[in-house]
Amino acid sequence: MAPVTKLMALPAEMLTAIAEQVDDPHDLLALRLVCKEVSAAAFEAFTTAFFTKRSHIYSCHGLQTLVDISAQPHLVKKLQEVELVCVRLNKERYQPHHTRIRYLVPPMTVPSGQEIPKVEQKGADVRQAWDEESERVREKGKDCFTHVFSNLSRLGVAPAVTLTLDVDETASCFGFGSLQRMLGPLVEENDFQEGPHEELVTAVLSSIVTTAYPVQQLALCKGARNAGLNETSFNLGHNTVARAAAPFAHLRSLALWVDADDFEPVNTETAEDIARLFGSATALEKLTVTSTQAEGYATANWYPALEQLARGFATNALKNVDLRCPATILRGYTDFLEVFKHTIKSLTLIDAMVDEDECWSTMFLWLVENVELEHLRLQGLQKDGGAVLLNEGKPVDCVFEGAAAVREGLTELARAPEYEDVEDEEDEDGPFMNGEFGYQGDAVLDIDDDDEIYD
C-alpha cells in the first residue's frame, strides 16, 4: 500500500494548485478554515472567486460592506467590476385588500371581524420597514459611494461600474438576504421590482465626479425593461460637473439604457444631459444605447436624440457602436454614424426599426459607401407597423467578420429586401411580445382577482 501524504506535508505550491482546482466557492471557504498555512495558499483562488466582481444590493448593509471591502488592498487588487443592483418593494402586495396577505397571515382566534386589523398591521409593518430602509439609503448613499471611489482611487484600482435594474439577478447579490430578513418572513424574491434608479444614478455619478475616480467602463441602468435613464436621472447640478476637470477623460466604454415612451418623441433634453455630462470622454471607444421599451414605433423618433448624442461626444476614438431597439428614420442612423464614420469599425443593430415608408437597403448601401466596418451584427430589423426584414425567408440574424465579408454581406442584403408582417399575439390581458426586452408570450401569470399589475 502506497504511503499516504498528509496535506500539511505538501509544499505551498502544491497547496495553491489544489485550491485552484476547487470548483465550488463554498468549498474554497471551507478549505481556508483548515489552518493558516492552507488559508494563505488558497488566498489567490479565494480573491479570484469572490472579489473579481462584486454585486451588491442598493441597501444600507450592501453599501457599507462595499465600503469596508474597498478599504482592503489585499481584497480589491483583482477587482474588475462593481455592480450595484437597485430594486424596490412592490408595496401594493402588502396592502390590506391584497389576497396574498390574507392567505399568508393566519387568522386570529377571536370573534369574526378581528382578522382584518391583524392583516392590516402585518402589511403595514412591511411597508414601514421598507420606507425606513429607503430613507436611510437616500441619506447615506452618496457618502458611501464617495468613500468607495476614494478608496479605490487611492489604491490604484479602477474596476468597471455597472448599475443594474434587472430584478432577475437580485437573489444572487450580496445584501439581499439581509434585506429580506429585515423586512420580515412575508417578503419573497418576486415581491421586488425595478428600483428608484434616478437617485442611484445621481449618487454614483456625483461621487465619480467629485472624487475624480478614473472609471473606464460604465453601464447605467443595465437590464431596465420599463424605465431607463431620463432627464431626472442626471440631477447632478451643472456646477458640480463644471467644477470637475474632465471627470470622464478615462472612460473607454459607456452603456446606456434610455427611457423612450412608445408614442412620444424621445426627450432630447435627456440626450443633451448625457452629452453634456460625458462630453469629456474624449477616449471613448465603445458606445451602447438601448431603448427600455419592448414595443418601438418610428413615430417615437430617436433621430433628435441620436443626433444630440453624436454631436455631444467629443471623442475621436469611437470604434464600436451598439444600438438596440431605437425606433427612428433612416436619417437618424446615418447622421449618427456620419460623425464617427472615420473611426468606427464595429456596428451592432438589434431590434432596430425604421419608418414604414423606408427601406433598410438604403441604410446598407450607405454603410458600404461611407463606413469601413470590420465587424457587423444585424438582428431583428423591422419597420414601423410590424414588418420584419427577411433574409432567405427568415428574420435577419447575421454576423459578418472582416471588411470584405461586411461589404459583401451588406450588398447581398440590399439587393432584394423582403418583409413579412408579424402581428403580436393578444389575449384579454393585452399584447405580449417575445424578445430580449419584451414580455414572454408563453409566460404564465398567476394573478388573483385582487391583484393589479404595475410597471
Extents of the domains making up the chain: 10-51, 53-432
Burial of 390 (0-12, 13-18, 19+ CB in 10 A): middle
pLDDT at 251 over 80: yes
The string of pLDDT tens digits covering residues 405-415 is 999 999 999 98
In contact, 94 and 123? CB cutoff 8 Å = yes
User: Under a CB-based contact definition with an 8 Å cutoff, are residues 11 and 1 in contact?
Assistant: no
Q: What is the band of 16 on the pLDDT scale with cuts at 50, 70, 90? A: confident
Q: Which pLDDT value is given to residue 436? A: 36
What pLDDT is attached to residue 398? 93
- The answer, yes or no, to whether residue 8 has pLDDT greater than 70, is yes
Neighbours of 305 (CB within 10 A): 27
First to last CA, the chain: 68
Q: How many CB atoms lie under 10 A from the CB of residue 6?
A: 7
Look-up: residue for cell 445584501? Answer: 175
**φ, ψ at 6 (rounded to 5°):** -70, 150
Give pLDDT, residue 386.
75
Residue 426's DSSP bridge partners are 431
| Weakest-pLDDT range from 76-80, 147-151, 443-447 | 443-447
Strand intervals (E) in 225-292: 253-258, 286-291
State yes or no: pLDDT of 430 exceeds 50. Answer: no
pLDDT value of residue 187? 79
Q: DSSP secondary-structure letter at 134?
A: H
- Among 222-231, 317-326, 389-398, 422-431, the least confident range: 422-431
Which secondary structure element, helix H or strand E, spans residue 217, and what is its range? strand 217-222
- Nearest of 80, 78, 82 to residue 48 by alpha carbon: 78
Q: What was the pLDDT predicted at 201?
A: 86
Contacts of 293 (CB under 8 A, 6+ apart): 259, 260, 261, 262, 300, 325, 437
Burial of 430 (0-12, 13-18, 19+ CB in 10 A): exposed
- Closest to 130 (Cα-Cα) out of 168, 80, 186: 186
CA distances to 9, 30, 54, 69 from 46, rounded to whole Å, are: 22, 11, 13, 14
Q: Count Cβ atoms within 10 A of the Cβ of residue 89 and give its class: 0-12 exposed, 13-18 middle, 19 or more buried.
A: buried
Measured from the Cβ of residue 177, the count of other Cβ atoms closer than 10 Å reads: 12
User: Confidence class of residue 366 from pLDDT cuts 50, 70 and 90?
Assistant: very high
- Report the C-alpha gap between 62 and 56 in whole angstroms: 5
Q: Return the bridge partners of 159, or none.
A: none
Please state, in angstroms and rounded to a whole number, the distance separating the CA atoms of residues 42 and 37.
9
Give CA–CA dist 119/139, Å, rounded.
31
Bridge-based pairing state of the strands 217-222 and 253-258: parallel
Q: How does pLDDT run across 96-151, given as a tens digit for each residue?
A: 666 555 555 554 444 454 444 555 667 778 888 888 988 999 888 889 999 999 99
**Does residue 425 surpass a pLDDT of 80?**
no
- Comparing 25-39, 46-60, 101-115, 354-368, which segment has the lowest mean pLDDT? 101-115
Does residue 389 surpass a pLDDT of 60? yes
Mean pLDDT value of segment 217-244: 68
At residue 145, the 3 state secondary structure works out as helix
Share of the chain above pLDDT 90, in %: 24
Angle between helix 12-20 and 25-32 (nearest 10): 150
Q: How many residues does the chain have?
A: 455
Residue with the bigger pLDDT between 159 and 114: it is 159
State which amino acid sits at residue 275.
Answer: A
pLDDT digits (tens, 9 = 90+) for 322-336: 988 777 778 888 888
Q: What is the mean pLDDT of residues 326-347?
A: 85
**Alpha carbons 66 and 52: distance in angstroms, whole number:** 13
| Mean pLDDT rounded to a whole number for the chain | 77
Distance of alpha carbon 133 from its chain centroid, rounded?
23
Residue type, 278: F
Look-up of cell digits 407597423: 385
Tell me phi and psi for residue 22, to 5 degrees: -75, 125
Closest alpha carbon to 97 in 447, 451, 454, 455: 451
Mean pLDDT of the region 48-70: 92
CA distance 61 to 179: 8
Residue 4 has pLDDT above 90, yes or no: no
pLDDT at 99: 52
